[in-house]
Amino acid sequence: MAILECKDLSKRFGSVDALTDVSFAVEPGRIVGLLGPNGSGKTTLIKLVNGLLTPTSGQVLIDGEAPGKRSHSLVSYLPDRNCLPQWMTAGQLLDFYRDFYPDFREDAAREMLSRLEIPEKRRMKQLSKGTREKVQLILVMSRAARLYLLDEPIGGVDPATRDYILQTIIGNYNPEASVILSTHLIADVEKVLDDVLFIHQGHIMLRTSVDQIREEKGMSVDQLFREVFKC
Amino acid sequence: MQWQFSNDAPIYAQLIRGIQIRIVAGIFPTGERLPSVRDLAAEAGVNPNTMQRALSELEREGLLYSARTTGRYVTDDVKLVNSLKRRLAEGRIGAFLQDMRELGFESEELLDILRQELEKEE
């Protein structure tokens, strides 16, 4: 069964159609890239899946159920902004996450912190913006979730850290779990993805696999994106 | 050996080629066990499903085989590996010859310069 299913999903903010009739399903074990220009509806879609927004019409099903208490235990979500309490230290945040989520793997988190040389005793507000992003991503990836929703996981970090994050996503791969990540840094994530969803003005305009694009068009996803969304 | 990917071909196809080269070069020696899919994927920086697809393809070619519990091995058929080596070499030589013809080299001249360069190397 699909871990995530969106059926005719639409979201309107006032008179603005943020998403229109979005339908797709994500099977377990897939890493899916949600790709689109700024303002195309990526974050809205992720928030709908996560239950932070309610659809104007249509349906979201996570493991067969609407977003709610159960889906929160299955979904690990990385917001597009930092939402961790700034007075807490990385070490305190580990405790915080352990208390909240039974699937939190503290050892994994600790290892990643030390690998990225992030001191556990430093408060969030004392860390640089990029480092705060790293901490948040570490917490999210350290859960043994069924669905990871990552909104711009690599946007604000340097290329070396970007590689490490992508390595973490690959290393964390589990055939039972799926990852959806939104980004516009396509060249960086392309090799890591199974499938891509091109989203434009709230519509899904393309849904295919990375290798299918390369096979049929003889170009990378990044090149295709630049062509399709040429300004 | 670094993994590098071009933009114009499917990633799984480039993985197949990369693994073939590593087998021919003895980095993955004949008859020996291959690293796990996950480790290979991490090393190449690619999606594990894509790596899996490449490995399955190589199994169908007979270059790899799976033992039920212990993992995946490189074939111990040395003949098969040698013929692959030959095939890969022919491909590269073909491309090289094309380049040299483009520069206006005739066969004799080409052999001469090759010999000279090889001597320099030694």
Same domain? For B48 and B61 the reply is: yes
Same domain? For B71 and B113 the reply is: no
pLDDT of res. A188? 87
pLDDT of res. A184? 84
Q: What is the count of residue pairs from A and B with beta carbons less than 8 Å apart?
A: 59
Residue A13 pLDDT exceeds 90 = yes
Q: Which long-range contacts (CB under 8 A, 24 or more apart) does A55-58 make?
A: A55/A9, A55/A10, A55/A11, A56/A10, A56/A11, A56/A12, A57/A8, A57/A9, A57/A10, A58/A6, A58/A7, A58/A8, A58/A9, A58/A10, A58/A21, A58/A22, A58/A23
Using the beta-carbon criterion (under 8 Å), do A211 and B5 form an inter-chain contact? no
Using the beta-carbon criterion (under 8 Å), do B47 and A166 form an inter-chain contact? no
- The whole-number average pLDDT for the span B99-122 is 93
Same domain? For B65 and B83 the reply is: no
Q: Is residue B63 part of a domain?
A: yes
Q: Is residue A211 part of a domain?
A: no
Q: Does B3 touch chain A (CB under 8 A)?
A: no
Same domain? For B84 and B102 the reply is: yes
pLDDT tens digit string along B12-66? 999 999 999 999 999 999 999 999 999 999 999 999 999 999 999 999 999 999 9
pLDDT of res. A221? 95
Number of domains in chain B: 2
Domain residues for the domain of B113 are 79-121
Using the beta-carbon criterion (under 8 Å), do B46 and A171 form an inter-chain contact? no
For β-strands A147-151 and A178-183, DSSP reports them as parallel
Q: Does A173 touch chain B (CB under 8 A)?
A: yes
Same domain? For B44 and B63 the reply is: yes
Share the mean pLDDT of chain A.
93
Q: Which of residues 44-83 of B touch A (CB under 8 A)?
A: 44-50
Residue A156 pLDDT exceeds 80 = no
pLDDT of res. A22? 96
Q: Does B10 touch chain A (CB under 8 A)?
A: yes
How many CB atoms neighbour CB A142 within 10 A? 26
Please indicate whether residue B33 or residue A164 has the higher confidence score (pLDDT).
B33
Residue A55 pLDDT exceeds 90 = yes
pLDDT of res. A230? 85
ipTM of the complex: 0.85
Please tell me the number of Cα atoms within 13 Å of A23 on its side-chain side.
Answer: 5
Q: Is residue B48 part of a domain?
A: yes
Number of domains in chain A: 1
pLDDT of res. A231? 80
Residue of B nearest to A212 (CA): B10
Q: Is residue B66 part of a domain?
A: yes
Mapping DSSP onto H, E and C, the string for B5-26 reads CCCCCCHHHHHHHHHHHHHHCC
Q: Quickly state the pLDDT bin for B70 (edges 50, 70, 90).
A: confident
pLDDT of res. B77? 94
Q: Is residue A33 part of a domain?
A: no
Same domain? For B90 and B60 the reply is: no
Q: Does A227 touch chain B (CB under 8 A)?
A: no
pLDDT of res. B122? 80
Same domain? For B52 and B106 the reply is: no
pLDDT tens digit string along A179-227? 999 998 898 899 999 999 999 999 999 999 999 999 999 999 999 999 9
Residue A163 pLDDT exceeds 90 = no
Q: What residues of A are in contact with residue B15 (Cβ under 8 Å)?
A: none
CATH number, domain of A49, equals: 3.40.50.300
Same domain? For B72 and B18 the reply is: yes
Q: Which of B10, B45, B48 minimises the CB distance to A173?
A: B48
Q: Does B42 touch chain A (CB under 8 A)?
A: yes
Would you state the torsion angle of the CA atoms of residues B74, B76, B79, B81, taken in this order, to the nearest 10 degrees?
Answer: 20
Same domain? For B67 and B51 the reply is: yes
Q: Is residue B47 part of a domain?
A: yes
Q: Which of A29, A190, A214 minimises the CB distance to B49?
A: A29
Q: Quickly state the pLDDT bin for B89 (edges 50, 70, 90).
A: very high
How many CB atoms neighbour CB A180 within 10 A? 24
Domain residues for the domain of A22 are 4-26+42-181+193-202
Separation CA B67–CA A88 (nearest Å): 50
Q: Quickly state the pLDDT bin for A154 (edges 50, 70, 90).
A: confident
Q: Is residue B6 part of a domain?
A: no
- The whole-number average pLDDT for the span A150-172 is 87
Same domain? For B85 and B33 the reply is: no
pLDDT of res. A81? 86
Q: What residues of B are in contact with residue A31 (Cβ under 8 Å)?
A: 47, 49
pLDDT tens digit string along A57-113? 999 999 999 999 999 999 999 998 888 999 999 999 999 999 999 999 999 999 999
